[in-house]
Structure 1
Amino acid sequence: MRLILLALACLGLAACQNTTVPSVEVSDALCRPTPNGRDLTGCYLKLTASTEDRLVAVSTSAAAEAQIHAVSTEGGVMAMEEMPDGMPLRANEPAELAPGGDHIMLLGVTTPLKPGDTVDLVLTFERADPVTVTAQVGTPPLS
Structure 2
Amino acid sequence: MPQTVLLAEDDRAIRHALERALTLEGYRVTAVADGVEALAQAHKSSPDVLVLDVMMPGMDGLEVCRVLRAEGDRTPILMLTALVETADRIAGLDAGADDYVVKPFDVEEVFARLRALLRRTSPPPAENEPGPA
TM-score, normalisation: structure 2: 0.24
* Greater RCO, CA 8 A, separation 6+: 1
* Bigger fraction of residues in helix: 2
